[in-house]
Structure 1
Amino acid sequence: MPKNIPLINREVSWLSFNDRVLQEAADKSVPLVERIRFLAIFSSNLDEFYRVRVATLNRLSSLNTKSKELLGFNPRKILNEIKNIVVRQERKFNHQYKDVILKELEQQKIFIINEKQLNVSRGLYVKKYFREKVLSTLVPVMIDKNEPFPELKDRAIYFFVRLVQNKNIEKSRLALIEIPTDGSNRFLVLPETNNLKFITLIDDIIRYCLDDIFFIFNYDQIESYSIQLTRDAELDLDKHVSDKFIEALTKSLNKRGKGRPMRLLYDKEMPLDMLKYLVDKLDLSTDGLIPGNRYHNFKDFISFPNVGGQDLEYPKMPALPVQDLSSMSSIFAQIAKRDYLINLPYQSFDYIIHFLREAAIDPKVKEISITLYRLAENSRVIHALINAAKNGKKVYCLLELKARFDEQANIYWTKRLEEEGVSVNYGILDYKVHSKICLVRRHERGKDVYYANLATGNFNEKTAGLYCDHSLFTAKPQITDELVKLFEGLQTQTFYKGYKYLIVSPLESRQKLNNLIDHEIENSRAGKIAYITLKMNSLTDEEVITKLYEANNAGVKIKLIIRGMCSLVPGVAGFSDKIEVFSIIDRFLEHARVWIFANSGTEKVYLTSADLMARNLDHRVEVGFPILDQEVKSEILKIIDIQLKDNSKAREINQLNNNRYRKTGTKVASRAQTDIYAYLKYKK
């Protein structure tokens, strides 16, 4: 691989993505309550970033100099850069919330009030609520300065409390109170007065009632400051795939809550001596100190109650029917005639449930095979599989236990499926199974016929209403025959090569992608039509970036739609002057992975579960698949064309990393997500 190719550090690029989320919170064209929710998404994203990426960098920073040279960057330098960026973003976040959002809520006669703003009647209401609903859930921990500091849970909110008598700080008492929040109970809507609406947070309810908690102590001053500790969330596992693996994973999940401290988010009003005490006790580095406001776990604001009008939220976009695909007829009979594409969330995930439900009760169906990564809380997918097993079908399910932050839920579903007679495989040693594939074997006229669903996103009905993904129904033998081979390999933990149509990681994706790019390079040099359009969540793999730079220099026009991390630097002479990169951030999460190659004017179109990262190409089981149905191919090309025209929610990814809104050379406003909905609604 050539040295010194232009690259953006992946962590810095990720922070740039989160800044785009923050832009949505600042966009006055976005309904007010939705802007609050974008602040919540920003906060949740940042929590995960510290738990995973910053945790990894901290581990890498302890390597010797030679190891750092092999990495190609200095982890400590990147950590310092992260700290500077995050502090700036937190300032923007706080300004947006305190100086903009709160004032606009007040213009709507909605007031978020704290404990100091409660009048007598609202104070009595809060006291009553606290004593009936909250007090019994609180157990303060008194801190003995001579004893070890209590263990703080990962991402839990605490009040760090100081009880002072006679202004004698030296003899003050310290305590911790864990704030009970699960998102939905974070807010209390208070009685309305004169058309004025009031909301208070559980945090301020507890602040208002601190005397009810500490009444047995003598003090004349009580202070409380919110803190939140983010810990290293990476797992150390015994990787043997067996019952012992589940036991090891469960133990590791318990340890996750006690991982190394990565970040302390603290109320910037906290006195310096209290902050220093925490830093010493928690053994924190200055890189991990992030000053914030009085409210942490802002991710709970995703459930902020809309007590105002409907115009404070996005208008509803009811799921559209898929043209010519009826839920009142056999879905197998329909798929046997042609392929169908479900474009989520614009069209309903119910088609996938209908597919599984029919498979569960159809006497001709003999076997169902499926890979599962992330599932909804009360998964209809799981219920359909259980019912299939009860109806005597062979059900083979590969449930990935190593799906980050879904491990506990997947352990539960594993046990539930096994209890109901489903054959469950826990995953493959050293590899995550990230593919989204389902295969149904049906016995028709004396022979086996296969029906498949392959997707870019998870079999998860909850996220299917929020994530933009594509899901393909097909009975084409070119694809289903290779899926049979793939599932056989998954059951025996064997990786096969030599697929003609499927593009499967970890053995073949990298080479097949290189071949597709090389073909465009050859066509460009021969004077033929040559272009590449790729859509994905992240592009960080250096070999792929190098190959795209090579294609650029051969005259191939390249357009990239990348929601999140992008290490490729566009617009650099001699590397990427023909490459355009942009990111779409809007009401739905862009999650689809699409590859389009000009192929001399007869486009090749692939959908895939894989982003272009080393982990997806080399360390996961991913499945890409060609679109063989011309009608489906035309639909995908039209959707991508609509996204390429976006000049409302698309931001440039450029050398400056400044998230500048994209210009398309036309005065006509184009907003991809609303335009795609209209296209699917009215297309003939």
Structure 2
Amino acid sequence: MKENKTPSPEIFPAELSWLSFNNCVLQEAADKSNPLYERIKFLAIHSSNLDEFYRVKVNKLLLKSDSKKDLLKKINAEIIRQQLAFGKIWKNEILKELQNNGIVYYENQTIETLHLEEIESYFKTTILSYIQLVYLSEDSGKEYFLNNRQLYLLIKLKEGNTERYCYVNIPSDKLSRYISLSKIGDENFIISLDTIIKKCLPYIFTGQEILGVYSIKINRDENYFIDDETSGNLVVKIKKKIEERKTGSSTRFLYDLNMPPEMVDFCKKVFQIEENEMVEGGTHHNFFDLFKFPNPKYPALQNEPYSPLKYPYFENKKSVFENIEESNHLLHFPYHSYHYVLQLFNEAAVNKDIVDIKVTLYRISSQSLIANALISAAKNGKKVTVFVEVKARFDENNNLFWANEMKKAGITIMYSLPNLKVHAKAALFTYKRKSKTKTYAYLSTGNFNESTAGIYSDFGFFTSDTKYTDDLKQVFKFLKTKEKKSSINHLWVAGFNLKENILQQIDLEIENKKNGRDASIFIKANGLDEKEIIEKLVEANNAGVEIVLIIRGIYTLLPGIKGYSENIKIYRIVDMFLEHSRIYKFHNNGDEKIYLASADMLSRNLSRRIEIAFPIFDEALKKQLNKIIELQVEDNTKKRTINRKGENIIENKEAALPKRSQIEIYNFLKNNGSIS
């Protein structure tokens, strides 16, 4: 056996690469070429991402591990740096721009008499009904519990000669965080729930002196691990773990940096917080609530709307299934309207000749039209089988709800597989009319979720080609029987052949390069950390294969390192749509192979999930995809180049013609995807 002399990968910590991605989001918030409310949206995204980081990426193992102290130090330093940058963007830029546009956001300013009356009335009639007050004492023997992600005000009081502490909740989970007040002249006014409560605290603490008021918040570990997924009822175990998530151990205690040291020490003791869990923050937390920051000038101050495009081939009088029977179709979301996917399911529900529907659901909308169409299909007498992944993090309850609703309608529900997540996005429709039987398939890189389809970039592929449908039948058969009895010939399926085929294809590129042929690899994914894939890419790099990667999130491979990754370029794109699609493209000695996939190049996707990568054989669709790849690689506005330190470099040359790939793709598809 030939010895593998590939150098060991120089691993860039996943946590730092994830923070590098979140820094891109912050860069967009700082970008003055973005409309004001788009910048506010990016601040909300950054805050939401960081909140999830502490709920998922940071846990007790990391916080307590001696071997990871250096990593934790780097993580904390980068988070502090980003938080300081966040604060400067918000205070020094966003608030001033709001003011310049006639929008006053009350923080520390003197509040107009009219507005004082409004907030007092709102506080007394509405907010007070949600206020919960808890007095604190180190010596009480009580265990004080702060809810995960809930906002609180820690208050120091004095009554006579006695000082004491208490906290009150900020009910942002029940009421709007940001409230619009009456307009005065040409100026609009907005105030936060936090500020209203602070202003009105004397109505709660009558006869007491308020010595200090500071914001606090706790994040809890929301990961869960099921020791044994093979025995007992897995759904019951998951429900139990979801409940336990609410009381998970703390990973971050966020507090106002202006809080006096003695109050900080008091918090550690009374809430049982360890030193490395204490994180300084601003006077307000949970900036992800900025997603709903009122815009009294709407639609001004936001991005120009890009209406979803019609897909001409589905705009004729024919049914979707007739169109699919004639040829394969590839749609690009959110550029194309997602209503064609809804139309597919709705038509299947009422078409008398569609007799069987099978679908995998990973994340669906809370008001899912697709789930409702499946329910209608079952009530219309069709056989409907749905695989519901109830281990989809943070969507477990929603998925369990819809599974129950569909089950009540007579749909056969298959739940999570032990030790595997089903992340594939696929549907199979069987047509029977007299002696004719036909199968249609829909394969996608994104979820069956009409809500996220409006902001996530993904591909949706419609086909009746047996090369796809026959393989997909075998996937659904496996989900039902858990047995791999038949081979899969054209699809690449994690759990069957996905990682093996990727490695084999990279090997072919290496062999072609060594034999003097052209060789190249392009991969677009949301993450890259799979050790064998990275080792093989390094081997390809050292053979001289040209490698281009667009990785939105985590990457543990650093580019540009001599003798290791000098032929590898890594980019990421952060813009108005979330880049979510996955593309694998191999030169293959001129006989180009392109696969679209549900799977990232992450260990979890390739080893612990059922994923599907589907080939594109149609030459016209290949040309279309190559044009889209070209537009993304040539982006000089929103594309970042990752350097050998893992930093994001914006190579926007002022002299160059600005190229913004998402707008370029929209315009390209608007012209029916014609290749010039």
1:537-564 alpha-carbon deviations (Å, 9 max, x no partner): 1111121111111111111101111111
Question: Could you tell me how far apart the structure 2 residues matched to 1:109 and 1:53 are?
Answer: 40
Question: Could you tell me how far apart the structure 1 residues matched to 2:110 and 2:448 are?
Answer: 46
Deviation at 1:109, TM superposition (A): 1.4
Q: Return the match for 1:28 from 32, 50, 57.
A: 32
- Whether 1:446 aligns to 2:428 is no
What secondary structure does 2:74 align onto? Answer: helix
Report what 1:50 is aligned to: 54
Deviation at 1:243, TM superposition (A): 8.4
Deviation at 1:497, TM superposition (A): 6.7
Q: Return the match for 2:305 from 270, 293, 316.
A: 316
Deviation at 1:102, TM superposition (A): 0.7
Q: Return the match for 1:158 from 149, 152, 155.
A: 152
CA contact (8 A) 2:62 2:72 kept: no
- Whether 1:505 aligns to 2:509 is no
Deviation at 1:618, TM superposition (A): 0.3
CA contact (8 A) 2:8 2:535 kept: no
CA contact (8 A) 1:646 1:664 kept: no
| Amino acid paired to 1:319 | P
Structure 2 vs 1, CA of residues 210 and 678 (structure 1 numbering), >3 Å: closer, same or farther?
same
Percent identity between the aligned chains?
Answer: 37
Report what 1:174 is aligned to: 165
1:398-423 alpha-carbon deviations (Å, 9 max, x no partner): 11000001111111111111111111
Report what 1:135 is aligned to: 128
Report what 2:387 is aligned to: 398
Structure 2 vs 1, CA of residues 249 and 39 (structure 1 numbering), >3 Å: closer, same or farther?
same
Report what 2:426 is aligned to: 437
Deviation at 1:6, TM superposition (A): 1.9
| Amino acid paired to 1:427 | S
Report what 2:200 is aligned to: 209
| Amino acid paired to 1:95 | K
| Amino acid paired to 1:198 | F
CA contact (8 A) 1:242 1:426 kept: no
Report what 1:650 is aligned to: 639
User: Which shows bigger deviation, 672-681 or 183-192?
Assistant: 183-192
Structure 2 vs 1, CA of residues 32 and 241 (structure 1 numbering), >3 Å: closer, same or farther?
farther
Report what 2:474 is aligned to: 485
Deviation at 1:222, TM superposition (A): 4.4
Question: Could you tell me how far apart the structure 2 residues matched to 1:375 and 1:348 are?
Answer: 17
> Pairwise mapping of residues 473-622 of structure 1 onto structure 2 (< 5 A)?
473-495=462-484, 498-622=487-611
| Amino acid paired to 1:7 | I
User: Which shows bigger deviation, 120-129 or 491-500?
Assistant: 491-500
Question: Could you tell me how far apart the structure 2 residues matched to 1:416 and 1:469 are?
Answer: 28
Question: Could you tell me how far apart the structure 2 residues matched to 1:4 and 1:633 are?
Answer: 35
What secondary structure does 1:581 align onto? Answer: strand
Report what 2:216 is aligned to: 227
Structure 2 vs 1, CA of residues 213 and 239 (structure 1 numbering), >3 Å: closer, same or farther?
farther
- Whether 1:112 aligns to 2:105 is yes
Q: Which runs of 5+ in 1 are unaligned?
A: 66-73
Report what 2:14 is aligned to: 10
CA contact (8 A) 1:497 1:508 kept: no
Report what 1:94 is aligned to: 87
Deviation at 1:165, TM superposition (A): 3.2
CA contact (8 A) 2:523 2:583 kept: yes
Question: Could you tell me how far apart the structure 2 residues matched to 1:103 and 1:183 are?
Answer: 29
Deviation at 1:16, TM superposition (A): 0.5
Question: Could you tell me how far apart the structure 2 residues matched to 1:503 and 1:200 are?
Answer: 53
Question: Could you tell me how far apart the structure 2 residues matched to 1:619 and 1:238 are?
Answer: 15
What secondary structure does 1:324 align onto? Answer: helix
CA contact (8 A) 2:425 2:598 kept: yes
Deviation at 1:607, TM superposition (A): 0.4
Deviation at 1:280, TM superposition (A): 2.2
1:156-177 alpha-carbon deviations (Å, 9 max, x no partner): 11111221235x5xx3222221
Structure 2 vs 1, CA of residues 364 and 583 (structure 1 numbering), >3 Å: closer, same or farther?
same
| Amino acid paired to 2:441 | A
| Amino acid paired to 1:587 | M
- Whether 1:411 aligns to 2:400 is yes
| Amino acid paired to 1:28 | K
Question: Could you tell me how far apart the structure 2 residues matched to 1:493 and 1:372 are?
Answer: 18
Question: Could you tell me how far apart the structure 1 residues matched to 2:122 and 2:232 are?
Answer: 46
1:283-336 alpha-carbon deviations (Å, 9 max, x no partner): 333332221111111111011111125331001100001132227420000000
What secondary structure does 1:276 align onto? Answer: helix
Report what 1:335 is aligned to: 324
What secondary structure does 2:400 align onto? Answer: helix
Structure 2 vs 1, CA of residues 327 and 92 (structure 1 numbering), >3 Å: closer, same or farther?
farther
Report what 1:59 is aligned to: 61
Question: Could you tell me how far apart the structure 1 residues matched to 2:432 and 2:651 are?
Answer: 52
Question: Could you tell me how far apart the structure 1 residues matched to 2:639 and 2:297 are?
Answer: 29
Q: Return the match for 1:195 from 168, 186, 202.
A: 186
CA contact (8 A) 1:139 1:177 kept: yes
Question: Could you tell me how far apart the structure 2 residues matched to 1:664 and 1:115 are?
Answer: 40
CA contact (8 A) 2:9 2:557 kept: no
| Amino acid paired to 2:176 | N
Report what 1:469 is aligned to: 458
Question: Could you tell me how far apart the structure 1 residues matched to 2:485 and 2:203 are?
Answer: 66
| Amino acid paired to 1:11 | E
Q: Which runs of 5+ in 2 are unaligned?
A: none
Report what 2:444 is aligned to: 455
Report what 2:23 is aligned to: 19
CA contact (8 A) 1:427 1:433 kept: yes
Question: Could you tell me how far apart the structure 1 residues matched to 2:35 and 2:332 are?
Answer: 25
Question: Could you tell me how far apart the structure 2 residues matched to 1:563 and 1:283 are?
Answer: 37
Question: Could you tell me how far apart the structure 2 residues matched to 1:620 and 1:480 are?
Answer: 21
Question: Could you tell me how far apart the structure 2 residues matched to 1:12 and 1:183 are?
Answer: 34
Deviation at 1:663, TM superposition (A): 5.5
Deviation at 1:8, TM superposition (A): 1.0
Structure 2 vs 1, CA of residues 122 and 21 (structure 1 numbering), >3 Å: closer, same or farther?
same
1:345-376 alpha-carbon deviations (Å, 9 max, x no partner): 00011111100111111111111111111111
Question: Could you tell me how far apart the structure 1 residues matched to 2:230 and 2:307 are?
Answer: 42
1:25-55 alpha-carbon deviations (Å, 9 max, x no partner): 0000011011011011001001111111111
TM-score normalised by length of structure 1: 0.94
Structure 2 vs 1, CA of residues 452 and 243 (structure 1 numbering), >3 Å: closer, same or farther?
farther
What secondary structure does 2:442 align onto? Answer: strand
| Amino acid paired to 1:158 | Y
Question: Could you tell me how far apart the structure 2 residues matched to 1:204 and 1:666 are?
Answer: 46
Structure 2 vs 1, CA of residues 396 and 223 (structure 1 numbering), >3 Å: closer, same or farther?
same
Question: Could you tell me how far apart the structure 2 residues matched to 1:422 and 1:464 are?
Answer: 25
Question: Could you tell me how far apart the structure 2 residues matched to 1:214 and 1:380 are?
Answer: 49
Deviation at 1:183, TM superposition (A): 8.7
Question: Could you tell me how far apart the structure 1 residues matched to 2:45 and 2:522 are?
Answer: 28
Q: Return the match for 2:625 from 612, 636, 639.
A: 636
Question: Could you tell me how far apart the structure 2 residues matched to 1:450 and 1:666 are?
Answer: 53
What secondary structure does 2:294 align onto? Answer: coil
